Amino acid sequence: MELAIFDLDNTLLKGDSDYLWGRFLVQRGIVDGEVYERENKRFYEEYRAGTLDIFEFLRFSLQPLAENELETLLALRREFIAAEIEPIVLPKARRLIQRHRGQGHVLLIITATNRFVTEPIAAMLGVENLIATDPEFSHGRYTGAVSGPPSFREGKVERLNAWLQQNGYNLASSWFYSDSHNDLPLLERVTHPIAVDADDTLRQHAEFRGWPIITLRDD
| Domain assignment present for 161 | yes
- Mean pLDDT of the 45-66 span: 94
Residue 111 lies in a domain: yes
Asked whether residue 91 is domain-assigned, the answer is: yes
Q: Is residue 56 part of a domain?
A: yes
* Residue 110 backbone dihedrals phi, psi, to 5 degrees: -125, 125
Q: Please give the C-alpha separations between residue 122 and each of 24, 97, 108, 138, in angstroms, as whole numbers.
A: 19, 11, 9, 23
Residues 6+ apart with CB under 8 A from 191: 171, 172, 173, 174, 175
Mean pLDDT of the chain: 96
Of 41-45, 88-92, 118-122, 155-159, the range with the lowest mean pLDDT is: 41-45
The sheet with strand 192-196 has its strands ordered as 141-147, 129-138, 106-114, 3-6, 174-178, 192-196, 213-214
**1 — pLDDT class (breaks 50, 70, 90):** confident
Average pLDDT, integer, range 8-14: 98
Examine residue 53 and state whether it is found in any structural domain, yes or no.
yes
* Residue 86 reports pLDDT greater than 90: yes
pLDDT tens digit sequence for 175-198: 999 999 999 999 999 999 999 999
Sign (positive or negative) of CA dihedral 59, 109, 5, 20? negative
User: Could you tell me the pLDDT band of residue 77, with boundaries at 50, 70 and 90?
Assistant: very high
Helix (H) or strand (E) holding 70: helix 70-80
Q: Return the percentage of the chain with pLDDT > 70, whole number.
A: 100
Give the mean model confidence (pLDDT) for residues 122-136: 98
pLDDT of 37:
86
Neighbours of 142 (CB within 10 A): 22
Would 40 be classed as within a structural domain? yes
- 197 is an active site residue: no
Alpha carbon distance 130, 196 (integer Å) = 19
pLDDT, mean of residues 119-148: 97
- To the query of whether residue 9 is one of the catalytic residues in this protein, the response is yes
Q: Does residue 109 contact residue 12 with C-beta atoms inside 8 Å?
A: yes
- Please report whether residue 219 resides in a domain: no
Q: What pLDDT does residue 102 have?
A: 98
CA–CA distances in Å: residue 19 to residues 40, 61, 115, 117, 162: 7, 9, 14, 11, 27
The pLDDT of residue 40 is: 87
Alpha-carbon distance values, 43 to 50, 54, 68, 116 (Å): 10, 9, 22, 19
CATH code of the domain covering residue 32: 3.40.50.1000
Q: With left for phi above 0 and alpha for psi between -120 and 50, is residue 168 left, alpha or beta?
A: left
CA atoms within 13 Å, Cβ hemisphere of 120: 15
**Is the per-residue pLDDT at 219 higher than 70?**
no
Count the domains in the chain. Answer: 1
Mean pLDDT of 106-119: 98
φ/ψ of residue 5, rounded to 5 = -110, 140
Domain, as residue range, for 162 = 3-214
CA 21 from chain centre, in angstroms, equals 12
Q: Name the pLDDT band for 32 (thresholds 50, 70, 90).
A: confident
User: Is residue 104 in a domain?
Assistant: yes
- Band (pLDDT 50/70/90 cuts) for residue 33 is confident
- Percentage of the chain with pLDDT > 90? 93
